[in-house]
Each structure stands twice: as structure tokens, then as C-alpha cells.
Structure 1
């Protein structure tokens, strides 16, 4: 539960920024859409490079609190302050520069906390089943944070006559709560695997742990495909409800049903992993989710059939996320078994880089898809509707097919992991 509080904290912060910052920039702060888009592109490129540097510094960390937990302790408060800074609107001439510095600082602080947090499962236990359970609690915390922000933020902001003040107060409230939850995660977890870092691994070991790590590369390809599908689907969902289903008032209920299915899939993940394993569950989830997305193409209009397809897809997506974050932990021991120095930071820095690049690509793909299909807000043509449907169904389904192909070659299943772990423990029984 303590570990799950970390992703609850992450999504109170990340949810507020991802859901409302673009609107705040354009409609409250007074930036143009082009300026706001440029801020996101610059900041995300800087963040992608910084993520690799975070992994490098993690692997050289020595502390009485461990290797990873100090980043939660000392990074929580700066992340909270920088979350708030994104929603401040001072009357300055260089608005673009102020917003760029604020958002870039937030992205870097988020990576500085979230990358070691993600790697913490690897230092808490060597048991692959326990890692899957930790990932399940993490995903539950993430969804709870998302629901709190998406369900409460706009209602709280609307209580203020001055929207600038409303955004600042609500952002400060979520950021403050996130800070406390990160500290609780720090206090309620322990690093039980391995010793405190004995030194930063040499470059050859970093390369062996990442680019020479076949299971990590296959898992990363699988993850990139899933994250593109997830991010593109999310970007198109509101357009789909508003224009394809033709019911703007259904948006809230649509996301509530989708979230409930996601939570259900998360809760089912742990017992299913124990029964059939992470790889087989991932394959089954990709088949079910891809089939649901494809079946949605045959639907004309709204109705229960659409929501059934959406629910199956959402439950499958939740299972994929639980499996992915449990599987990446196993690749650290694989690299160590292959002769590299233990390097959680390098592995998770590389893996987080992949997820960020995938989400950035999906964001660009969403805008390109709308542009290529001549989407116009005031008058949505049949061609634009076709583009929205493709972005919501056919393209994510194709990404699931690519993910299925990649994960089929992934050989580090539970049996193989236990074999190599046994060999590592024989070499170092004190672990």
C-alpha cells in the first residue's frame, strides 16, 4: 500500500498538468496554441535526455536511506513547488519564457522522482510474483489519482471568481497532497535487495544492461507500441464521444465506465499472473484489447456495444501496464546474470525514455491525423469522422498487433527468471 501511494502522488501532479495545463496556457495565461505546443515540445525533448542522466546518477547513489528512496525524500517538495509554478500567471512581458522555464523545471523534477520510484520494485523484492503485486497496487494508486484530479479539479476551480487564482489554489492543493504522499511512500517502503551502491557502473556495463539486454529491448518495443495506442486513444476519446457518438454530455459517463473497467482489469491482474504468468497474460490482453478495438469499427452510433468494446480494451490495457512494470524489474537481474554490474538506474532510465518518446509520438500523431482528415471544430466532415474513428480503433489495434509480435519473442518468463536468479544467489548468497 505504501508503494501504491507513490503513483497516487505522481498522478495527482501529472494528472493536473496533463489534463489542464494546455487549456490554462491558451485560455487563462494568454499564450497562443502555437506557443503552448512549442513549450511542450522543447520541455519534453529536454526531459527525454535528462531521464537518461537520472538513471546514470541513480546508479552512483550512496545513502543511509538506500539507493532510490532518497529521491522521494528530497525530491517530493521541489516537485510540488514546480507543479504549482506551472499554474502561476504573473503579469510579465516574457510570458513564453516564464511558462517554458516553469514547465521544463516541472518535467525534470518529475523525472527525478518518478524514475527512481519506478525502479523501487526492483530493490524491494526479488520475487517475481511480489513484483507483480506491487505493480498492481501502483496502477490502482495511479488510477485513483487520475480520478481525483479529473473528477474534482474543474469543480473546485469554478468556485473561484478569478480563474487564475482558482488554478493556482487547486494546483497547490494537489501538489501539497502529492508531496505528503511521496513522503509516506518513502517512510512505508524499504530497499531489501542488494547493498547500497558500490559505485557507478562503467559505460560498458551500462550498455550491456540496456542495449545488450535482449529482454529489455523486446519489452521496450512492446511497451512503445502499447503506449502509442494508449496515448492516441486517450487523445481521440473526447472527439469520438462528441462527434462520432454525437453526445457531448456523455463524456463524463464514458470516462467513468472506462475507469471502472480499468480498475477491474488491474484487480484481476495479480491472480491471473500467478496462474498463467506475465507473458501469457500480456498476450491474452493484447488479443482481447485489439479484438475489442477492431470490433468497435463495426458499430454505428452509440449504445451498449461501444461501451462493451471500450470496457474490454480498458481492462486489457490495465493488465498490460501491470505486466510491463513487473517485467522490466526482471531485466535488471538478467543483465546482472549476463555479467554486467547491477544498474537499476540505467535500465529504468532507458525504459522511461522509451515511454516518453512513445507518448510524444502519439501526441504528434493525433494532431497529424486530425489535420490530414481536415478536422474543423465548427463543421466536422465525414472525412474527419473517419479519421477520428481510425485514431480511436484501427491504429491502436495495429499497435497492439505490433506489441503482440514483440512480446512473443520475450524469453524471460517466470521459469527462466527463477533459474538465473538461483545462479545469482549461489554466487552471492548474502543477497
Structure 2
């Protein structure tokens, strides 16, 4: 029996070229999602402690509880998205229908209520959990979408670079504009609520653009129905996934300790609260500017070498920051090194993770983007949540008191949390990623082998 000519939905993604428009159309989604994720990461703990007046320990656990819930929900969301079938594909519908509810849940977190005591804690926790639920509903399918746009490892590197530039641009905007917007809307809870409405509307528009400008290229010649057991079997033998995830987890905890402590450091150690935004903006700007450099190095060498090089630069930056005098100019002069080093880790992680989808399929015969990205989100967000809770507890242990002058002992301990801990974790991440063995050539061989396997399987079904 002759086989019908394959349509777009059964074309091998390894032969599909995205083009500039679709690469940018997908990558810009990181700008929209980071209006939520980065802004929350930079300012939400600070908002809980210094605006709502929650204790550091309580604020940390509110933040952690919501992120851990998000982490637990992500694999389920990945499983559901992986099994979704619609005329728009598996993952794109969640961007279309989830963007506006996500923006509304984000704004609700900052709604001025006049609540105090336990009622305020319950409101903060409930709205944060609601926001993280919708973030998983939209963010999880967005991440998995990257694995069905193309199977070309170098194109994925380009997509990851576009994403990192978009995300870093958002980080720059968030760092420089957030507190300015808060002030423009009147400051305090009212000001944060106005900022949240603006960011939510912008993010929803960006996510709609991603939906409109991307198309899913299903890589299987014969569509698979993947069971939960198949996913577990694929993950169990996917060493590349576990290496990348471990390195990511170490880096994420370190970045949480550093970035979330920066506002407190500038407010209480340097007495320059006005420089919080510029400092965070400098970090984000250097991440963004470093991405073309890291993309070039990644193409010339490998993703692994790029990540290790960036970790070395970060460690050097932390060392210089440790010995720098407690003066704004000295501190600001070191931050570019930390931003440049961080860029390599971000690009390495998000360009390596889609490749582990093919590695898992090559080893087990099971392709499940949703399982890969669901589990990595669980690990990432669970780690970030526990790191935030740990930071809240550490701030309490070292004697931090919101909106009061801190003791010399508290300030000294804050430097250990912000500088020494991330330096050690950055080195540990570099040592871990040294075990990642997939390069461009090996990935290309895997993709060609998978295409032959799928073609053979399809021919068997057509007879």
C-alpha cells in the first residue's frame, strides 16, 4: 500500500528550519514570563518583609510553599500537556487560554486589602499559590514547546540565546523600572499593585504573540501514546538529564542567595536603597550583553566548556566582591563579572535540556518532552523554594530586623550568605557539568539514528 505524503504535522523536526521570525517569536516568550518570574524573584520577598511587614521567616516560607506547590504541580502539568491534542498542537493552547488568568493571578498577589496578622499571611500564601498554579499551566507548556520546534542542536542553541536575551532584557527592565513604577503609582501596596497591573497586561500580550508566531513540528513519524511508566523508564536511564539538572539546582540555589540578598545589602550595608534598581539592572544588562559571546563560544567549542568558563568568571567575581570595600562604586564595579558569568549558566542549561529529550528517546525509545520539562521544573522550583525558605530562616538567625539599622554582626553574616555561599555553589555546578558528555556531533548522530528508527517503524505500520 502506498503511503500518503506526510503533512506538516508528521514532518521530522530535524529537517525543519525555524527561520529568524519563529526563533524570535518563541524566544520573546521569556520576556513575558520573566515579567512575573524575575520580578517575583527580585522583589517579592522584599515586598513581603519591608512593605507588608511579614517576618523574614514567615515571608520565606510563604514564598517557598508556593514555589514548592508549583514544583509539584509541574510534572502533572507536563504529563497533561504531553497528552493534549488540539488543532493548535500540544503546548500552544495553554499559552492562548492561560495568559490572561495568569496576569490576573499575578496582580491579585499585590492587591491592597488592609489585612493584618494571620489573615494577611493566609492571603499572601493563597494568592501566591494561585499565581504559581497559573504560572505552571502556562510556563510548563512553553518550556516543552522548545523541544518540538526543532531537533537541530545548534538551532536550539540559537533559540536558547534568543530566550536568554529576551529574559535578560526583561530582568534589566524589571530591575530598573519596578521600584520606579511602584513610586509613580503612589508607593507601598498601592504602588506595587499598579506595577503588577502594567506588567500583567504586557506579559499577556507577549504570550499571545508567542502563540501566534510559533508552530509545533511533531518529531514522531508515528505518534506515541506515552504512559507514566514509560516516562519513568525514560527518565531513569537519562544520565544527561540528571547531570544538567544537578548543575542547574546548585546554580539556582546560589543565585537565589545572591539576588534576593542584594536589595537588603544595598539598603542596610551601603545605605543606598536608591541603587537597588541600578545594581540589579547592571547584573541583568551584563547577562544580556554576554549572551552573544557565550553563543559564539558554545558554537566554537561545546555547551559544557561554555558553562564551566562562565562559572570560573562568576567565582572570580565573588572573590573580588568579598574583598571589595563596602562602598557603592567598588561593589558596582564587580557586578558585571557576576552578570557575565551567570549568562553562561543560563544559556547552558536551557540549550542542554532540550537535547536530553533526544538522549532519553535514544536510550529508551520513549519521547516525552512534558516529562523532561515537568521534572526539571519540579527540581528547579523546589530548589528555589527551599532556598528562599532557607534564606528567610538565615535572615532571622543572623538577627535581621526589617526597616531598622542592622548590627555589625548581622551585616557580616549577610555578606557570607550573599557572597561566599554562591561562590561555593558555582564551583560545585561547574564540577558537576564537567560530566555532561553530549556535544554537537554526538547529538547529530542521535537525531539521525532516531529518524531512521522512526522511518523504519512507520514503514512497518504502513504495510
Maintained 8 Å contact 1:156/1:170: yes
**What is the alpha-carbon distance in structure 1 between the residues aligned to residue 121 and residue 408 of structure 2?**
37
Question: Residue 295 of structure 1: CA displacement?
Answer: 3.1
Q: Specify the alignment match of 2:139 in structure 1.
A: 114
CA RMSD between the two structures: 2.8
Q: Specify the alignment match of 2:453 in structure 1.
A: 427
Q: Specify the alignment match of 2:229 in structure 1.
A: 204
Change (3 A) 1:382 1:39: closer
Change (3 A) 1:294 1:47: same
Q: Specify the alignment match of 2:179 in structure 1.
A: 154
Maintained 8 Å contact 2:179/2:277: no
Deviates more, 1:87-96 or 1:104-113: 87-96
Corresponding position: 1:342 with 2:367? yes
Deviates more, 1:300-309 or 1:175-184: 300-309
**What is the alpha-carbon distance in structure 2 between the residues aligned to residue 215 and residue 203 of structure 1?**
20
Deviates more, 1:224-233 or 1:163-172: 163-172
Maintained 8 Å contact 1:115/1:348: yes
TM-score w.r.t. structure 1 length?
0.90
Deviation readout 1:353-402 (Å, 9 max, x if unpaired): 11112212322332343344444564434432332222222211110121
Deviates more, 1:78-87 or 1:12-21: 12-21
Question: Residue 24 of structure 1: CA displacement?
Answer: 5.2
Corresponding position: 1:54 with 2:77? yes
Q: Specify the alignment match of 1:412 in structure 2.
A: 438
Q: Specify the alignment match of 1:7 in structure 2.
A: 30
- Give the number of aligned pairs: 431
Change (3 A) 1:200 1:81: farther
Question: Residue 195 of structure 1: CA displacement?
Answer: 4.8
**What is the alpha-carbon distance in structure 2 between the residues aligned to residue 103 and residue 83 of structure 1?**
8
Question: Residue 211 of structure 1: CA displacement?
Answer: 3.0
Report matched runs for 1:100-249 at 5 Å: 100-160=125-185, 164-195=189-220, 198=223, 200-245=225-270, 247-249=272-274
Corresponding position: 1:329 with 2:361? no
**What is the alpha-carbon distance in structure 2 between the residues aligned to residue 246 and residue 168 of structure 1?**
26
Higher relative contact order (CA 8 A, sep 6+): 2
Counterpart secondary structure, 1:171: helix
Deviates more, 1:409-418 or 1:84-93: 84-93
Question: Residue 276 of structure 1: CA displacement?
Answer: 1.1
**What is the alpha-carbon distance in structure 1 between the residues aligned to residue 52 and residue 396 of structure 2?**
26
**What is the alpha-carbon distance in structure 2 between the residues aligned to residue 215 and residue 399 of structure 1?**
20
Question: Residue 225 of structure 1: CA displacement?
Answer: 0.7
User: Alignment partner for residue 282 of structure 2, among 257, 262, 266?
Assistant: 257
Corresponding position: 1:81 with 2:104? yes
Question: Residue 154 of structure 1: CA displacement?
Answer: 3.1
Maintained 8 Å contact 1:56/1:200: no
**What is the alpha-carbon distance in structure 2 between the residues aligned to residue 16 and residue 125 of structure 1?**
30
Q: Specify the alignment match of 1:311 in structure 2.
A: 336
| Structure 2 segments unaligned to the other structure (5+ residues) | 1-23, 459-463
**What is the alpha-carbon distance in structure 2 between the residues aligned to residue 157 and residue 196 of structure 1?**
51
Q: Specify the alignment match of 1:400 in structure 2.
A: 426
**What is the alpha-carbon distance in structure 1 between the residues aligned to residue 271 and residue 126 of structure 2?**
39
Q: Specify the alignment match of 1:302 in structure 2.
A: 327
Maintained 8 Å contact 1:52/1:350: yes
Counterpart secondary structure, 2:236: coil
Maintained 8 Å contact 2:175/2:280: no
Q: Specify the alignment match of 2:461 in structure 1.
A: none
Question: Residue 164 of structure 1: CA displacement?
Answer: 4.9
Q: Specify the alignment match of 2:95 in structure 1.
A: 72
**What is the alpha-carbon distance in structure 2 between the residues aligned to residue 376 and residue 90 of structure 1?**
24
TM-score w.r.t. structure 2 length?
0.84
Maintained 8 Å contact 2:57/2:393: no
Maintained 8 Å contact 1:59/1:200: no
**What is the alpha-carbon distance in structure 1 between the residues aligned to residue 202 and residue 316 of structure 2?**
39
Question: Residue 143 of structure 1: CA displacement?
Answer: 2.1
Deviates more, 1:31-40 or 1:96-105: 31-40
Deviation readout 1:231-285 (Å, 9 max, x if unpaired): 1110222233345445444434323332222112123222111111101101111
Deviation readout 1:317-376 (Å, 9 max, x if unpaired): 011101110100000001100124210000001111111122123223323433444445
Change (3 A) 1:360 1:422: same
Change (3 A) 1:22 1:282: closer
**What is the alpha-carbon distance in structure 1 between the residues aligned to residue 222 and residue 87 of structure 2?**
11
Change (3 A) 1:44 1:62: same
